[in-house]
Structure 1
């Protein structure tokens, strides 16, 4: 009898947690709307034009503070990425300077980057980055789209497993870039801080609004708006964090087809072997 009571109590506790968790999650973090991405879903692919525009945003707006230290220049020309030509990637690399060495005299020296090099960080170390940004540390962009996201909590992450929703990272980055508000009513913004209703760690952050309409020139006719800029750089950051997404999805589809065929073969084999055996 006592065992049955314990089981009932345990079930009640789990049920209470399941009911309370969504409310807690909703109260603790900002609401992040889901966006439409070309790379969403089991057959999603990156939009090459969007990746190139996103890289342009990164290079002209973000690279002065945020690094991309895990991405090599050759990745820009690899399959599944922005699809720059090799010559274009070489030209982009030549515009950066990296530290190499030591030379014959045992000294480090600077040289133009080549395809094998990775994007150099804008600051020599974290202390220098904080000193240049009022104590705030600008995060590296390499894995940010996978590392930063608004947690959806239970039971939503269970549904996400079935719907294959994996874009909460770029959704959050887009929402953050478009979530700045000037002088929100009834809220006092600390000096040197900016109000953003989508920021996970409170609503104040040290980064000023980085995007403005017509800030970066597009030559393909794409609207030059904050909304479009935010979408493009968010997609680029997703590629930086997961450059083999398309290949992963192709392999996953092949595996699923194989498992379905294999299961069918096992079923018919079982029926053939055991059809004349009495049970």
Structure 2
């Protein structure tokens, strides 16, 4: 499914998916049946605003609010003079709710891949059938050199085995914001994207991910980095929880965000203690 181009606004893939969602005769009916229901999918497009403060990150809170603002503006028609297509141009007089738009946005943004050669955003069932694993041995054929996508097995597979491939060097916070899941836990724990010393999260690219190497430098530089991470750690720890505790398993998004917070703190603590050890000092947490 071709859902837009690399230079298009966010509205294009959202509206292209919305068209298929609303069309009872869509030629992608079998593909559409594979998509999760609205309550089985979450990312920054459709995460409820009550969870925003659970990010405990200015960047990710702003990111989610921006998505909400743009989708609400698209729904109201406020973006019509500036976007490639309006809702009415794509689906006619079919009623469209803000929840419809959020769902279409979440479907497209968790599923499309880009191809530099055609500069298009493409959705294909072969991607939906595979989960992310950074170290997965399976891979996809280069999809910018052919009209077909081929899954290449890097190890023997038998019926019932889970199929995976790497979506990229996803950090926990990026994975939750864009895909709605937490990657496999790794050791040593990796810093969240917003906490990495060399990464502007807004400029993240799968092609140029942040370094996986431990921080190194002069003693002064390591001390400054330890102080920076310690300040972040204390800020997260001291930030009030915006929601009351929920029973485990009763709210997927709440559980997801609390686990993300726990992983973030664990990674910060590990890297702070690692720097303290190298400096021959004690970590003050």
Alignment TM-score, normalising by the size of structure 2: 0.23
> Higher Cα Rg: structure 1 or 2?
1
TM-score by length of 1: 0.23
User: Could you say which structure has the greater relative contact order, defined with CA pairs below 8 angstroms and 6 or more residues apart?
Assistant: 1
